[in-house]
Chains A and B, each alone.
Chain A
Amino acid sequence: MIKKRYILNFPPQSGDKAFTYHLVKDYDIRINILKAEVYPGKRGSLLLELQGKKENIEKGVEYIKSHKITCESLDKRISWKEEKCIDCGNCTAVCFAGALNMNRETWKLEFDKSNCVVCELCIPACPLNLFEIDFR
C-alpha cells in the first residue's frame, strides 16, 4: 500500500465523466479530495490523495491520463529554492498542514511535500519569495 498526492488539470472539454468513481471501483483506490477548483467550460484543478496498491495507482493514473487530463505527482508541481533559503521560519507559521517544519536540532527548514495541501499560504509568507506551486 502506498499513499501519494497528485494534481489533476482538466481541460475545458473534459466533460463530466465520473473519474473518481472509476478510480475507486475499477482500481480499488482510496481517494481523498484535498482541494478542487472547477470552472465549467474553462478548466478544473484537483488535488487528490491516492492510497492503494502501487500497481493499481499506476494503472489509475494511466486511466486518468488516457482521458486527456494531466495528472502529475504533487512534488513535481512544488518548487522551493532551498539553496536560497535562510531558514527564517516565516513559512512554518502559516503551514497548518505540517508540510513545512523547523528541525528543532539544526533549525533548518524541512519541507515534507507529501503533507502539502496546496493552501498556498507559504507563497506570500516567504519574505524571499522562494515558493512556487503550479496547481492551475
Chain B
Amino acid sequence: MKTRADFGIVFFRLRASDFELQNMPKIKTYEEINRKLKSGEAVVLTAEEVSKMAKEMSPEEIVEKVDVVTTATFGAMCSSGAIINFGHANPPIRMEKIRLNGVPCYEGLAAVDSYIGATACDPDNPKYGGAHVIQDLLEGRDVVLEAWAKGTDCYPRKHIKTKININTINEFTLFNPRNAYQNYNVAVNTTQKMIHTYMGTLLPNLRNATYSTSGELSPLLNDPEFKTIGLGTRIFLGGTQGFVVWPGTQFHTTKPKNELGVPVTNAATIAVMGNLKEMSPDYIKAAYYEKYGVSMFVGIGIPIPILNADIAKRVSINNSQIETSVLDYGTVGTPKLGQVTYEELQSGSIKVGNKKIRTAPVASLAKARKIADELKQWLLKGEFEVTKPVQMFPGNTSLNGLKETEADND
C-alpha cells in the first residue's frame, strides 16, 4: 500500500494545478464540498437518482450540479464480527476459553478482550451463532458469559459464569474484515438436486437464479477504481458513523472488467469499523442459512464526493451498464455459464443460453435505498463530512489460493 498510493496523490495534484492554469473543467476539493455541506448549499443525490440524471446530463454538467452521491448496500456479510471488552471481575480471570450464550469467541487477546465472529457457532446449536449474540447485545438483551482459565498469580480465578449486556461491557466495536463486495456472482444450479448455499436455496435444473448486489446503488461499483474510497473514509455503518479501515480481505483489483472499467465478478472489498453501542438493530441483522450456517446482514452507506468529471462519470453508471457472471454453484469449480446485467436481474428473469431463469435478490434493495436516503439526510443536515482518505488502496492486487503441500509427519 505505498508506492502506487503516493503516486496517485501526486498525479492528482499535478492535474489539479494544470486545470487551474488552463481554465479546464471543474474540479472540487473535499474542503470545498464540506464547506457547502456545513452551510447547507450542497447538492446530495443517491446513486440511483444520479443515474437517472445522467440520462440527460453529461459528467461535466453533473460535476457542476452535484456535490455528493450516496451509495448503499444491505446484504449478508459473513466476514463480520465484534470486539468486546468484558471488564475485569474481582478476583480477576485471564479468560482462556470463552462462550457467549454457548457460542465460542476468541480467547487469544489478553485477559478480558475478545472477538466474536458473526459465523461462529456451537456445532450442537448451529442455528444460533455469533451474529445472534451481537444482535442480542445490540437489542439490549442479557447474554450469558462463561469463561475458563488455568489461574495465574495475577489472575487467580479459574471459572466465571455471569450475565453481560450492552451497558455492562466496555468497548463493543464492530470490526468486519471483508464487507461490501464490489459486485458479486449470480448463483444457479444445473444439477438435479436442490442445494443450500449462502446465495440461498438453489432449485434444481436452473429453476432459479439469485443475486446479491444493489447494482447501480452499490458502493464499490460507483467508485470502481477507489478514487475516493480509501483508508479513513467516513461511512454509514449499521445506522451510525463508521470508517473504512483497510482494504478488505481478498482485495482483488485485477478481475475481468467491462469496457466501463467495472468488474464483472466479485472483486475488491473493504474492512470497516464502528461503534456497535451507537448502531441500530434495523441495520445489523443475524441470519441463518439452511444447511450453510450463520451470517449477518450489515448496512453500509458510502458517500462519494464528486470531485471531478471522471468521478461524476463513474457514479452515473446504471444497471444496464453493470454486468456480472452467472456461476453454477451445483458443480465443483463453479463454472461460468453466462454474463448478465443488473437491469436484467432486476427485471425478474435472465437468459442463460436458451433458458429463461427466474431471478431473486438475496440482499435488500429496499433497505439499501433507506440507507442511501438516510446518509443523504445526514449530509444535507451538515451532520456528516466527506473524508479525504489518509491513504489510497493498492492497485494491481490479486489472490493466492491455498496450496496443499505434503504433510510432514515426522
Residues on A close to B: CB < 8 A? Answer: 86-90, 92-94, 96, 102, 104, 106-108, 121, 124-125, 127-129
Contact = CB atoms under 8 A, between A and B. Distances in A.
A96 B207 contact: yes
Nearest to B187: A93
17 contacts: A88-B76, A89-B361, A90-B201, A92-B360, A92-B361, A93-B360, A94-B201, A94-B203, A96-B203, A102-B360, A106-B366, A107-B361, A121-B201, A124-B196, A127-B288, A128-B287, A129-B127
A28 to B, nearest CB: 37
Dominant secondary structure at the A interface: loop
Interface size class of B (residues with CB under 8 A): 20 to 34
A107 B342 CA distance: 14
A85 B361 CA distance: 14
Contacts of A87: 364-367
Contacts of B290: 124-125
Contacts, number: 74
B285 A108 contact: no
**10 pairs of A and B residues whose beta carbons are closest in the complex:** A127-B287, A93-B360, A89-B361, A124-B290, A107-B365, A87-B366, A107-B366, A92-B360, A90-B200, A87-B364
B297 A86 contact: yes
Given A104-B346, A107-B369, A128-B287, A88 B361 contact: yes
A40 B349 CA distance: 43
A29 B203 CA distance: 35
Contacts of B202: 93
Contacts of A86: 74, 285, 297, 364, 367
Nearest to A86: B364
B366 A93 contact: no
Dominant secondary structure at the B interface: strand
B182 interface: no
Contacts of B295: 127
A72 B288 CA distance: 31
A87 B75 CA distance: 10
B289 A88 contact: no
B362 interface: yes
Contacts of A128: 285-287
Contacts of B207: 96
A88 B297 contact: yes
B34 interface: no
Contacts of A90: 200-201, 210, 360, 362
Interface centre among A87, A89, A96, A108 (most CB of B within 10 A): A89
Contacts of B285: 86, 128
A122 to B, nearest CB: 9
B362 A93 contact: yes
B114 interface: no
Interface in B121-150: 127
Given A88-B361, A90-B360, A125-B201, A104 B348 contact: yes
B363 interface: yes
